[in-house]
Amino acid sequence: MRIVVSLKPVPDLKHWNRLELDPKTKTLVRKGIPGAINPLDRHALEAALRLREKHGGEVVILSMAPEDSRPVLKEALAMGADRAVLLSDPAFAGSDTLGTAYALSVALERLEGVDLVLCGDQTVDGGTAQVSAQLAEFLGIPNLMHVSGIEATDGAAWLVRCQMEHGYITVEIKPPMVLSVTRDVGQPRYVTLMNILEADAKEIQVWSAKDLPMRESWIGLAGSPTQMGDLFVPEKKGSAEMLAGTPAEQAAQLADRLHRLGFC
Amino acid sequence: MDFKFSDREELLRKTVREYAEKEIPPYMETMEETGEFPTELLKSMGQMGILGVITSPEYGGTGMGHLARIIVLEELGRVCPAIPMALQVHHMCTYALGTWGNEDQKKKYLPPLAKGETMGAVAVTEPSGGSDVAGMQSAATLDGDKYILNGRKCFITNAHTADTWVVIARTSEGGKGLSAFIVEKGFPGAKVGRKENKVGLRGANTGELAFNNCEVPKKNLLGNEGDGMTIAIRDIVECGRPGMASVALGILCAVMEQAVKFANERTLYGKSITKLQAIQWYLAEILSDLEISRLLTYRVGWMLDQKMSPHAESALSKQFACEAAARSARKAIEIHGSYGIMKEYPVQRLLRDALVTIPAGGTAEIAKLVLARQAMTTYG
């Protein structure tokens, strides 16, 4: 079984107080902010490792990011992935979800024999939750989202549990497929010191746009139909009004205000 | 000179920080109240590889080295300094066994110590004092295929939690008359004595060991007869002092974070107290102490990994970092005002923890003696 985990390096949540928006490009200024594995992608990797432990095979990390993201991929390798492929090229810069999904899909075709592609349900920086569905569409294979459980069987249909608004459904589905997972799919394991040493021997392959049969007009800014209208940090506004009267009168006034504001 | 950590070291720091932040806090309140080390953590710390960080992979460790050990202890200490206090002494035991143990001893004792199945301690200090190693009273006499050990050891970290003790005792007269023994908790005549009630590092167990005609198999002599002084001094210099400095680094890091957090939240005269120069100076001084201590301590780790002897550097890092931790914790309390001496705020505990690091593992005065000798040798 070959499982590919599509993993995104994102700014480390612990340094988000240092993050700023570039007013011109409408993007996050990531320089100087340590990277981390997107939190839900860690859960996706954990699910992949558990499947490999049960059924054997290989877990490959696939990521599209600048070269300085290597330490993030190294962490994924230390968690237990067998190898990593990093798509890194200035030509990819500015790709929106569609451009990203296209580039990843071309890389996945190059990887061959992939039974399962796992993603986190969404990222903490973009938060669009679109790449997994777009990726499946490019590859022409099924996609399920909000996955909280995966039961693989050899040769037969797998049972995949998906969270719904008021419960869950279990879907019978045959690989290959793209699944995007919630945190319920499995608590990520700790990286041990021995894992860190083992990761030194694992390979990170870097593929540029030219290494793959890509349509250049489908990647980067040219291949990205999304146009950012505006992006800004909301201004913090706050005011306080003291209610007067007895506790009962204050409660009545409060209920009235809340009612008028549409809360009840 | 390259002051940048490798990707491997950065990942190590991140990994241990994640582990420490998640696994240790649930135990901290109980540790503070009872003075007990949470031995339940040993299994997961063994699985993480923390316990065997300087033990060769051949004997179940990771062999990541001394700089890695300092990073590990610092990160654990940032969350709870009592944990690395206990572990640094555990490491002293593994270091002594790994450096001076024969093949049989290493095969028998190191794997369970690395896995967390057993815990280690080193017993040098006696009621008459720890600084005068040559003056120790505990004695061992060879009787057939065993040594008969008599004496008392005090202020021993992990005394009640450890299973494997490296004990220094006299086998003949004079400075070269000391020997080291591997003593198991269950050996006939070996007993744990009183449990100390310390003001700080409360979760690291400290106590007394008593040997009353304790029977130690001859094969448990570590090194040769007469090696005891060398083993004790080198274990202290190469493992104990950098270990204590690392505990202090953890405290300094926590102190810095708590000081900045409180200063950011606290307003006076309608503005954050970070706008006040008095507070800014405190923050600058704490940061200076943290960074200087880091440089001194990391250098010792690097030297050890290069197989260099850091005799004076080790004393300097220990003495400076431990005193820096105490004065910085005091400054953090000043920033907190009256809140700083309330049990709800961690800075009061950090000061108590820092005070304990100063005499532990060798007093500041002994460290200064080493430094004075170094000064006279180098600049005389």
* pLDDT tens digits, one per residue of A109-156: 999 899 999 999 999 888 889 999 999 999 999 999 999 999 988 777
Contact A193 B8 (CB under 8 A): no
ipTM for the predicted complex: 0.88
Q: Do residues A7 and A76 make contact, with C-beta atoms less than 8 angstroms apart?
A: yes
- pLDDT on residue B25: 97
The mean pLDDT of B158-178, rounded to a whole number, is 94
- pLDDT on residue A26: 75
Q: Do residues A147 and A182 make contact, with C-beta atoms less than 8 angstroms apart?
A: yes
- Let me know how long chain B is: 380
Q: Is residue A204 part of a domain?
A: yes
pLDDT at B104 > cutoff 90: yes
- pLDDT on residue A55: 92
- Is the CB of B41 inside 8 Å of chain A's CB atoms? no
CATH of residue A33: 3.40.50.620
The DSSP 8-state label assigned to residue B239 in this structure reads I
The SS3 assignment for B152 reads: strand
Q: Is residue A127 part of a domain?
A: yes
- Is the CB of A192 inside 8 Å of chain B's CB atoms? yes
- Is the CB of B48 inside 8 Å of chain A's CB atoms? yes
> How many beta carbons lie within 10 A of that of residue B292, not counting itself?
15
- How far is the alpha carbon of B15 from chain A, nearest alpha carbon, in Å? 6
Q: Do residues B239 and B95 make contact, with C-beta atoms less than 8 angstroms apart?
A: yes
pLDDT digit string, tens, across residues B140-151? 999 999 999 999
- Looking at A44-48, A237-241, A258-262, B324-328, which range is the least confident one? A237-241
User: Going from the N-terminus, what domains does chain B have, and what CATH number goes with each?
Assistant: 7-119 (1.10.540.10), 121-229 (2.40.110.10), 234-379 (1.20.140.10)
Range of the domain at A107: 2-218
The SS3 assignment for B293 reads: helix
Contact A190 B18 (CB under 8 A): yes
The mean pLDDT of B29-56, rounded to a whole number, is 96
Q: Do residues A35 and A28 make contact, with C-beta atoms less than 8 angstroms apart?
A: no
Interatomic CA distance for residues A57 and A99, integer angstroms:
29
Q: Do residues B23 and B44 make contact, with C-beta atoms less than 8 angstroms apart?
A: yes
- pLDDT on residue B306: 96
DSSP string computed for A173-210? EPSSEEEEE-GGG-PPPPPPHHHHHHHTTS-EEEE-GG
- pLDDT on residue A13: 85
A32: left (phi over 0), alpha (psi -120 to 50) or beta: left
Torsion of CA B20, B22, B25, B30, to 10 degrees: -100
- How far is the alpha carbon of A194 from chain B, nearest alpha carbon, in Å? 6
pLDDT digit string, tens, across residues A50-63? 999 999 999 999 99
Q: Is residue A55 part of a domain?
A: yes
pLDDT at B134 > cutoff 90: no
Q: Is residue A258 part of a domain?
A: no
B195: left (phi over 0), alpha (psi -120 to 50) or beta: beta
CA triplet A210, A213, A218: central angle to 5 degrees?
A: 90
Best residue of A189, A192, A193, A204 to probe chain B, by most B CBs closer than 10 Å:
A193
Which helix or strand (DSSP H or E) is residue B54 part of?
Answer: none
pLDDT digit string, tens, across residues B329-351? 999 999 999 999 999 999 999 99
- Pick from B10, B14, B62: which is nearest to A193 by CB? B62
pLDDT at A85 > cutoff 80: yes
- Pick from A190, A192, A200: which is nearest to B8 by CB? A200
- Is the CB of B104 inside 8 Å of chain A's CB atoms? no
Task: Provide the pairing of β-strand B164-170 with B178-184.
Answer: antiparallel
- Is the CB of B56 inside 8 Å of chain A's CB atoms? no
Strand partners, B210: B152, B191
Contact A191 B11 (CB under 8 A): yes
Contact A193 B7 (CB under 8 A): no
Q: Do residues B222 and B182 make contact, with C-beta atoms less than 8 angstroms apart?
A: yes
Q: Do residues A184 and A163 make contact, with C-beta atoms less than 8 angstroms apart?
A: yes
Contact A193 B18 (CB under 8 A): no
Which chain A residues contact residue B48 at CB under 8 A?
Answer: 190, 192-193
Higher-confidence position of B319 and A230: B319
Q: Is residue A232 part of a domain?
A: no
pLDDT at B130 > cutoff 70: no
- Is the CB of B70 inside 8 Å of chain A's CB atoms? no
What residues contact A256, with CB distance under 8 A and at least 6 apart? none
User: Residue B163 half-sphere exposure, CB side, CA atoms within 13 Å?
Assistant: 12
- pLDDT on residue A156: 79
- Is the CB of A193 inside 8 Å of chain B's CB atoms? yes
Q: What mean pLDDT is reported for chain A?
A: 92
Q: Is residue A49 part of a domain?
A: yes
The SS3 assignment for B182 reads: strand
Which chain A residues contact residue B53 at CB under 8 A?
Answer: 193
- Pick from A75, A192, A197: which is nearest to B47 by CB? A192
- pLDDT on residue B207: 96
Q: Is residue A229 part of a domain?
A: no
What pTM value is reported for the model?
0.90
Interatomic CA distance for residues B22 and B37, integer angstroms:
17
The DSSP 8-state label assigned to residue B126 in this structure reads B
Which chain A residues contact residue B94 at CB under 8 A?
Answer: none
- Pick from A71, A192, A193: which is nearest to B7 by CB? A71
Q: Do residues B196 and B160 make contact, with C-beta atoms less than 8 angstroms apart?
A: no
- Let me know how long chain A is: 264
- pLDDT on residue A16: 80
In the structure, what pLDDT confidence band is assigned to residue B18 with cuts at 50, 70 and 90?
very high
pLDDT digit string, tens, across residues B60-71? 999 999 999 999
Which chain A residues contact residue B15 at CB under 8 A?
Answer: 78, 190-193, 196
- pLDDT on residue A240: 86
Interatomic CA distance for residues B79 and B67, integer angstroms:
19
Best residue of B4, B6, B12, B14 to probe chain A, by most A CBs closer than 10 Å:
B14
pLDDT digit string, tens, across residues B189-208? 999 999 999 999 999 999 99
- Is the CB of A74 inside 8 Å of chain B's CB atoms? yes
- Is the CB of A190 inside 8 Å of chain B's CB atoms? yes
Q: Is residue A247 part of a domain?
A: no
Which chain A residues contact residue B261 at CB under 8 A?
Answer: none
- pLDDT on residue A83: 97
Which helix or strand (DSSP H or E) is residue A7 part of?
Answer: none
Give the number of domains in chain A: 1
pLDDT at B243 > cutoff 90: yes
Best residue of B5, B6, B7 to probe chain A, by most A CBs closer than 10 Å:
B7
- Is the CB of A201 inside 8 Å of chain B's CB atoms? no
The sign of the dihedral angle between the CA atoms of B84, B86, B88, B94 is negative
Contact B68 A70 (CB under 8 A): no
Which among B215, B211, B234, B212 is positioned nearest to B223, based on CA atoms?
B234
Contact A193 B53 (CB under 8 A): yes
